[in-house]
């Protein structure tokens, strides 16, 4: 059976289209804790992260929002605009935000540093393929899964991670992934397992075409002399190199 057909046939809910990497993220309109937003306008020229929650005031969601608030400066440093989503009302979100901020004594009395979208009709959750069919509310309606979408300044989807409602996220890993996305958006490199800023030092230079090697022949030869070339094929070379700031050394 053709794979696309098989995937469609296996879908529990064919009305949940979802998004693919590289797709332009929908420019939706939504009510949030900071008023009505138009998503692309909200993002401006920044990167963005949208993360969804099954429900307000639930224990796992509350720890996640508190963690996201605690490290919000790290997202700001990377020019990533944060926005959360849950399927309750703006009023509930405002009161939940206060609870969340009270969780860390140093934040008590401060405002949640990012807005929360009120998706009380679950319209966005359906549009973005975020419903978790295994978790239902008391009325039998599916809750939102824990989705993470990272959107680039070109408004295209750069990363998506989908956790079920019962598994809380690791925001440190999400920041690490953002670092990789931002590096690989600027440089023609790939980052290896567990790669991390600032103590990473090594990224991987991916050369897809012989012409790219020819254009960087001096560097290629220098790396070859140092035994830095990991794998060579006629059409694809993966090369390790040392990375300091913006320079190849």
- Least separation in angstroms between residue 58's CB and ligand BEZ is 3
73 is catalytic: no
In 3D space, the residue among 130, 140, 193 whose CA is nearest the CA of residue 164 turns out to be 130
147 is catalytic: no
Burial readout 97-110 (b: 16 or more C-beta within 10 A, e: otherwise) = beebbeeeeebeee
Instruction: Confirm or reject binding of residue 99 to ligand BEZ (CB under 6 A).
Output: no
Q: Tell me the C-alpha distance between 149 and 18, whole Å.
A: 11
> What is the footprint of ligand BEZ within residues 117-176 (CB under 6 A)?
135, 143, 165-166
Residue closer to ligand BEZ, measured from CB, 144 or 160: 144
Residue closer to ligand BEZ, measured from CB, 96 or 243: 96
- Least separation in angstroms between residue 149's CB and ligand BEZ is 19
Instruction: Confirm or reject binding of residue 59 to ligand BEZ (CB under 6 A).
Output: yes
- Least separation in angstroms between residue 124's CB and ligand BEZ is 18
Instruction: Confirm or reject binding of residue 61 to ligand BEZ (CB under 6 A).
Output: yes
DSSP state of 17: -
Q: How many CB atoms lie within 10 A of CB 31?
A: 17
The one catalytic residue among 61, 67, 147, 237: 61
- Least separation in angstroms between residue 137's CB and ligand BEZ is 9
Q: Tell me the C-alpha distance between 175 and 93, whole Å.
A: 24
Q: Tell me the C-alpha distance between 9 and 186, whole Å.
A: 39
Q: How far is CA 162 from CA 18, 52, 86, in A?
A: 11, 10, 15
- Which x/- pattern, by CB under 6 A, does the window 19-58 give for ligand BEZ? -----------------------------------xx--x
- Least separation in angstroms between residue 177's CB and ligand BEZ is 22
Number of residues this chain uses to bind ligand BEZ (CB under 6 A): 10
Q: How far is CA 247 from CA 63, 197, 233, 243, in A?
A: 39, 15, 25, 6
The one catalytic residue among 13, 73, 134, 154: 154
Residue closer to ligand BEZ, measured from CB, 61 or 68: 61
Beta bridge partners of 148: 51, 161
CB distance 191 to 200 below 8 Å? yes
- Least separation in angstroms between residue 229's CB and ligand BEZ is 48
Residue closer to ligand BEZ, measured from CB, 35 or 140: 140
Task: Name the packing angle between helices 59-70 and 90-102 (round to 10°).
Answer: 70
Q: Tell me the C-alpha distance between 27 and 99, whole Å.
A: 30
Residue closer to ligand BEZ, measured from CB, 112 or 207: 112
Which residues of the shown chain bind ligand BEZ in the complex (CB under 6 A)? 54-55, 58-61, 135, 143, 165-166
Active-site amino acid positions: 61, 154
């Amino acid at each position: 059976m053709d794979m696309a057909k098989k995937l469609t046939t296996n879908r529990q809910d064919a009305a949940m289209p979802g998004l693919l990497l590289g797709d332009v993220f929908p420019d939706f309109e939504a009510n949030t804790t900071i008023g009505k937003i138009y998503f692309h306008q909200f993002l401006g020229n920044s990167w963005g992260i949208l993360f969804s929650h099954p429900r307000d005031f639930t224990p796992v969601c509350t720890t996640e929002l508190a963690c996201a608030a605690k490290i919000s400066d790290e997202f700001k440093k990377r020019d990533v605009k944060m926005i959360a989503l849950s399927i309750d009302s703006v009023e509930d979100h405002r009161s939940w935000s206060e609870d969340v901020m009270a969780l860390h004594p140093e934040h008590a009395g401060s405002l949640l540093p990012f807005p929360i979208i009120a998706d009380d009709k679950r319209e966005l959750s359906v549009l973005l393929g975020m419903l978790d069919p295994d978790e239902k509310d008391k009325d039998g309606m599916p809750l939102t899964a824990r989705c993470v979408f990272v959107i680039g300044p070109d408004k295209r989807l750069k990363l998506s991670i989908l956790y079920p409602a019962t598994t809380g996220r690791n925001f440190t890993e999400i920041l690490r992934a953002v670092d990789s996305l931002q590096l690989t958006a600027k440089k023609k490199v790939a980052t290896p397992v567990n790669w991390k800023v600032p103590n990473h030092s090594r990224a991987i230079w991916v050369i897809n075409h012989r012409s790219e090697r020819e254009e960087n022949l001096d560097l290629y030869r220098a790396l070859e002399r140092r035994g830095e070339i990991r794998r060579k094929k006629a059409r694809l070379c993966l090369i390790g190199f040392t990375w300091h700031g913006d320079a190849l050394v």
